[in-house]
Amino acid sequence: MRGIDSALWCLVNVARHFSIPADYMQLERAYITDENPADTVTLLVGAKDLGLKARRLDNLTTDDYMKLPHPSVARVKDGSYLFVLGITPDGAIIARDYRRANEDMRIECEEFNKHFIGEAIIFTKRFHVEKLEEKVTGFGFRWFIPVVLKYKAFLFK
């Protein structure tokens, strides 16, 4: 039995942050085809399929990373991914690791610098024009046209 894949676990947490329903088991069935863990490309494709815009950033320093929008995903030296919720005013990182799922960790900048390899993925929710059009045109005069046509004899007497 395979353990939890850190990349997919981070993707589920990012989706939850943006109020997008995502199930770890479904993502695992869709994107993991062998015993190898999901990589950054898989994470980017999965994000796109969930309706998120994702962008990979390379060669970042810890200072560069501190300026990125959060939540984001950081890659660490052991090859796993870390879900970063944000930065505290004093410069510490608030993150979640797949090994301690629901527990927020406070990581000091120096400690983060030891493990961070310079790769991060940032996310934003995609804007869908179709969904906006559905909301705008969902209810209006067109709803009443069938009723007006049905009773036109009574209405226009």
DSSP 26-50: HHHHHH--SSSPP-HHHHHHHHHHT
Bridge partner residues of 54 (DSSP):
123
2 vs 14: which has the higher pLDDT: 14
Q: Kindly give the residue spans of alpha helices, DSSP state H, lying in the chain.
A: 6-17, 24-31, 40-49, 62-66, 109-115, 129-137, 145-150, 152-155
The whole-number average pLDDT for the span 48-75 is 91
Task: Residue 62: name the closest of 118, 107, 124 by CA.
Answer: 118
pLDDT of residue 1: 38
Single pTM value for the model? 0.75
- Cβ atoms of residues 11 and 82 within 8 Å: no
In a domain, 155, yes or no: no
pLDDT of residue 131: 61
For the stretch 112-131, pLDDT in tens is: 888 889 999 999 988 765 66
In a domain, 17, yes or no: yes
Q: What percent of the chain has pLDDT over 70?
A: 89
For the stretch 4-58, pLDDT in tens is: 888 999 999 999 999 999 998 999 988 887 888 889 999 999 999 999 999 999 9
Residue 143 in this model has a pLDDT that exceeds 90:
no
Residue 139 in this model has a pLDDT that exceeds 70:
no
In a domain, 78, yes or no: yes
In a domain, 136, yes or no: no
What's the domain range around 89? 6-128
Task: Residue 7: name the closest of 105, 119, 124, 125 by CA.
Answer: 119
Among 36-45, 82-91, 135-144, the range with the most confident prediction by mean pLDDT is 36-45
Measured CA distances, 77 to 74, 80, 85 (Å): 10, 7, 19
In a domain, 157, yes or no: no
Question: Which CATH number does the domain housing residue 89 bear?
Answer: 3.90.70.10
**Structure tokens that stand for 72 in this block:** 């984001």
In a domain, 144, yes or no: no
